Structures are given as structure tokens and as C-alpha cells.
Amino acid sequence: MRWNRSNAVGVAKATCVYCHGYGTRFVRIGEEVPCNCTLRAIFRACLARFRQCAESQSHLGTVSLEFCRGRNSRRMYSRKTEEYMADFCLVSQRVLNDNENQIFRYHFLLGADWKLCCRRLNMDRGNFFHAVYRIEQKLGRTFAELEPYPLYPLRDYFSSTIRRQPALPLSA
């Protein structure tokens, strides 16, 4: 993902003191980087979709038919909810180190509150929340910049594009 204001302003926090709601900030002359509030919002959107996929057990196993341009076939079958949940967990596991991965599992996947996590991981409250923010920023950047198929924006991950041949012009 190429970071600019047009693709970051929609998820930026309006009261952010660093980017003032624009989603990007300048670190050097002419170099724009995404603000940390934008990266955290991207992670939270992906996490909300992960939780939505996990809660919709009635749709688990539902196969969707997607149209694609292939050599032998123009259709492919997929299970988008299971694929998204697997991608979310596997990408997170690859990017995070061991300590961050434990915090991620306990707090985000299992839903433990900060008191239980601090007791379990022998951390104080301040270090725990600093680690949570670092995890959100790191995974938000990874989900948006993942190649060749990023997890964010979610509409691109879950939608199937139909590419048809252009219609031939009618001759008079």
C-alpha cells in the first residue's frame, strides 16, 4: 500500500495530536508516513472482522464461487471466512516475537482483560498497554502492506472481482 492522505484519512483519529486527523505525518522533507493512530485503526478493523467471522458459526464452511481470469477455468471456489481467520492468525504469529505473541493470544484472541494478562505475564499495567499499542501498530502496518494480497482494506479481501472482456463496438 502506498501511504498518502487519501487512503489514510478515513481511518485516522480526528483528535490525534500528531497527524490532526489527516492519517499521515511528515518525518522528513517530502516523506509521508502513516500515523500510529491510522495503523492502530487498521488493526482494530481487521480484528473486528476476525471476531465477526468467528462469531458467525452458521456460515462456517460456506463456499463462495468467485470469478477469475484463469487459463483453464474462469471460476474458483473458496471459503473466505476461514481463509481470513487463518491468514489473520498466521500473519500475526509470523510478525510478532514470543512475548508479543503471548500478549496477542491472551488479550486479543482469547479476550482476557488487562488485569488477567498482567497477572499471567508478570507485567505491570503501563508496560502491558505500551506492548498492546506496539502490537496494534506493527500488525496494522503488516496487514495493510502485506504482498501480494493484503488483509486491509477488507472490502478488497472479501469481494470477488469480475473481469469481463470489453464489449465489441457495434458497426453501423
Residue 100's CB is within 10 A of a number of other CB atoms, namely 17
pLDDT in tens, 48-87: 999 998 888 766 667 777 776 666 667 777 788 888 899 9
Query: Where does the pLDDT of residue 162 fall: very low under 50, low under 70, confident under 90, or very high at 90 and above?
Result: very low
66 vs 97, residue with greater confidence: 97
Backbone angles phi, psi at 97, to 5 degrees: -80, 180
The pLDDT score that the predictor gives to residue 164 is 45
Extended strands (E) in the chain: 24-28, 31-34, 64-67, 75-78
Of the candidates 22, 38, 19, 31, which has an alpha carbon nearest to the alpha carbon of residue 145?
Answer: 38
DSSP conformation letters of 20-31? TTSSEEEEETTE
> Cα separation of 36 and 25, whole Å?
10
Please choose, from the candidates 134, 122, 90, the residue with its C-alpha nearest in 3D space to the C-alpha of residue 109. 90
Alpha carbon distance 95, 142 (integer Å): 8
Give pLDDT, residue 137. Answer: 95
Give the model confidence (pLDDT) of 110-151 as tens digits: 999 999 999 999 999 999 999 999 999 999 999 999 888 888
Bridge-based pairing of strands 31-34 and 24-28 is antiparallel
